[in-house]
Amino acid sequence: MWITSIAAAGFVVYGGLVLVLESIGSVAGSTAMVIEFGLLAVLLALVLSVVHRTMGRQETTLAGLRAEAEAERYRSQQMQSQFEELVEKRVYELQVVNGALNREIAERTQAEEEVRQLQKRLELILDSAGEGILGLDNQGRVMFINRAATLMLGRDPEELIGHGHHQLIHHTRRDGTPHPMEECPIYMAYKDGLVHYRSDDVFWCKNGSSFPVEYVSTPIRDRGLLTGAVVVFRDMNTFK
């Protein structure tokens, strides 16, 4: 479009010059023709020069645009490559973490199964004992109890586990007077860390009856700290 405009302007100028020459009567016909051809040649040279310069600028602009497009494509490829590397690295890290978690879960499952098996063997051993056995924490709460103890005390395990032993089975002396916890040899074992033995005491059953009892209360230590006591007892009526 811009070439057409330049050519049109040139030819207008050329036409104007031709009219001027024709109006000059003193100029011979052959001379006027030479001048016309000369003007036409100059005009064409001018148009070609403008076209050449304009096309050169356009080529430069196009070259710059191509260079920018190539640079942008290169940057895009670099970003895509970096993104793919980051994704691959992240996937690998997740696989490592997932593998570690699977191993930890497997190890924990195995450990829990071993604990269950050990607990089951411990329960079998405790239930096979003829004496009553109570496990207490350092607050005097029953943590475990074997079958012989539940039979002698006339209570289900759920009635004792998690509850204070003294209030349930050792609250009253043989003569019917209250038995303060601070004077209870079982209590003393998980407070002073010593083994306490009695053979002239009584335990109380759920139905309100009592039976003479012989027991030993042994403290439990964990890393040097008192954490409770184990009480082993037997009904002296059975061993008369």
State percent of the chain over pLDDT 70.
82
Under the banding of pLDDT at 50, 70 and 90, the label for residue 45 is confident
Which whole number is the average pLDDT over 35-42?
Answer: 68
Each residue of 136-163: pLDDT tens digit?
999 999 999 999 999 999 999 999 999 9
- Provide the pLDDT confidence category of residue 69 given band limits of 50, 70 and 90: confident
Reported as a single tens digit per residue, the pLDDT across 189-211 is 999 999 999 999 999 999 999 99
CB burial class (10 A; 0-12, 13-18, 19+) of residue 61? exposed
